[in-house]
Amino acid sequence: NKDQIPFEEIGGHETLDRLVDVFYTNVKNHPDLYPIFPDDLTETARKQKQFLTQFLGGPPLYTEEHGHPKLRARHLPFPITPTRAKAWLLCMEQAMDEIGLEGQLREDLFQRLTFTAQHMINTPEE
């Protein structure tokens, strides 16, 4: 339905909850990623759900609680190499596969996330 915002079209909170939970399970199991993440990803996942909700045009949950996303600045404490950006995107691609997210909406979201992930790179290859 073209009248819907992407957040609704994708299936709202129900879909994003599943996507983000599978995504962080993948992150936890990825050798290049888990060392830079906290052991307990509960809060990280909660923030990511808020962020993706507004990224897809839904209510601005992230900004309401945490202020302007300033994602690149918030990632500066973590060494994000090109390899880690690739790994992050792979975890996301596999999460999309696992929850059965398909079609144009998936392609568009993945494209935007690819762009954002490139922008987060702040450290040359180790």
| Residues of this chain that bind ligand HEM (CB under 6 A) | 33, 36-38, 43-44, 47-48, 51, 66, 71, 74-75, 78, 80, 84-85, 88, 113, 116-117, 120
d(CA 6, CA 3): 9
d(CA 117, CA 62): 18
Nearer to ligand HEM, 3 or 77 (CB): 77
Query: What's the min distance (Å) between Cβ of 1 and ligand HEM?
Result: 24
Nearest of 119, 26, 31 to residue 80 by alpha carbon: 119
Angle in degrees, CA 85, 24, 124, rounded to 5: 20
Query: What's the min distance (Å) between Cβ of 3 and ligand HEM?
Result: 25
Nearer to ligand HEM, 105 or 113 (CB): 113
